[in-house]
Amino acid sequence: MNQSLQKLKTKMTEHELDLIYIDEPNLVGYFTGFESNPHERVLALFLMNNNIFLFTPSLEAKDAETHSSIETIVSYKDEENPWTIIESHLSSYDQPIKRMGIIENNLTVERYNHLMHSTNAQETMDISSAIQDIQLIKSTDEINKMKYAGEMADKALEIGMNALKVGISEQEVVAEIEYEMKKRGISEMSFQTMVLFGDHAGSPHGNPGERTLKEHEFVLFDLGVVAEGYTSDVTRTVAFKSVSQEQKDIYEVVLSAQKAAQSAVKPGMTTGALDEIARSIIEEAGYGDFFTHRLGHGLGKTVHEYPSLSKGSTMVVEEGMCFSLEPGIYIENQIGVRIEDCVYVTADGCIPFTRTNKNLITL
């Protein structure tokens, strides 16, 4: 039984649960080592006090046997009703299920109804926050995977920068990056790759489109890849040909906020204090109203996890946490600058997953 599963088992005991049911593919991968997207079919982990099994569509059973750490694989064919098979398998254990742990924000009503019927459970408990706790601190193995995802994100930035030329559109640059990543074995980006030109970056969540590149404007890249089931996330804003002094000044404010936060990271402080360090620099420069989002977010198997680095957050930074530091200044319809690195916390500081130069790059 791997470490994460062991921790889940401890939570199960703490909360006096008879069964934990998990069918979110990312979490099934996290707890069993079997990464798969079953789409509409049922792929689920059933964890009980003395028993554990992985339920899979039959076409995945062989792979699950090979790749998961779970010995008992129960599977169903497309023409069979998965819930009938689950029900009869559960009854073979002869262990009554009273309290069941589920993930409320993920389990569909349809599956919930089937599950209640198949298990005869009397009550459920949402175990989302217990799982967030487990995922908060990353193992060396997880950090190594994230380092690789970071390296590939640096590569993606390089590809994006090399693609820039007058007249190219944002979506053409996105296509170039993703095509080159696919050729390098990356099958999935962490989220929709963002490439925004000039005034288009004035909204922190803009959509790349047909806007074409002109000289003397900024280009904002925000991207990440999924590698071995772990994500990366990085943002760089670069100048295409020379930019104005005002543009440079804004860039320098964001850069000093980002660097100050990154060098301040230390176990024992709160994530709210980190937000404050970056925010106060931007406020003092007079751009406080234009830094419109939190400083950062945790990441790991998914690109948004705990902790949250927001104003007033009291969560304490611990060794092994992984999160982004991404201050920005956005002036609507004019300019957007964001600089983002994700880091992992060490005993006395932090180390970034991405290494692309942060000083203003002019192409």
The footprint of Mn ion (CB under 5 A) covers: 222, 233, 235, 324
The nearer residue to Mn ion, 114 or 294, going by C-beta atoms, is: 294
What is the DSSP secondary-structure string of 53-78? EEEEEHHHHHHHHHH-S-S-EEEE-T
CB-side neighbour CA atoms (13 Å) of 88: 8
Smallest distance from Mn ion to CB 353, Å: 12
Contact present, 283 and 269 (Cβ < 8 Å): no
The nearer residue to Mn ion, 170 or 222, going by C-beta atoms, is: 222
Residue 252 backbone dihedrals phi, psi, to 5 degrees:
-65, -35
The nearer residue to Mn ion, 60 or 341, going by C-beta atoms, is: 341
Helix axes 3-14, 25-32, angle to 10 degrees: 110
Smallest distance from Mn ion to CB 222, Å: 4
The nearer residue to Mn ion, 58 or 308, going by C-beta atoms, is: 308
Smallest distance from Mn ion to CB 339, Å: 10
The nearer residue to Mn ion, 217 or 222, going by C-beta atoms, is: 222
- Calpha distance 250→202 (Å, rounded): 13
- Cis peptide leading into 307, omega within 30 of 0? yes
Smallest distance from Mn ion to CB 302, Å: 12
The nearer residue to Mn ion, 196 or 285, going by C-beta atoms, is: 196
Query: What is the strand order of the sheet 188-189 is part of?
Result: 188-189, 225-227, 230-231
Smallest distance from Mn ion to CB 156, Å: 12
The nearer residue to Mn ion, 4 or 302, going by C-beta atoms, is: 302
Smallest distance from Mn ion to CB 158, Å: 17
- Calpha distance 174→152 (Å, rounded): 15
Which secondary-structure segment (H or E) carries 282? helix 271-284
Smallest distance from Mn ion to CB 304, Å: 8
The nearer residue to Mn ion, 67 or 304, going by C-beta atoms, is: 304
Tokens describing residue 42: 């049922």
Residue 58's CB: how many other CB atoms inside 10 A? 14
Smallest distance from Mn ion to CB 146, Å: 13
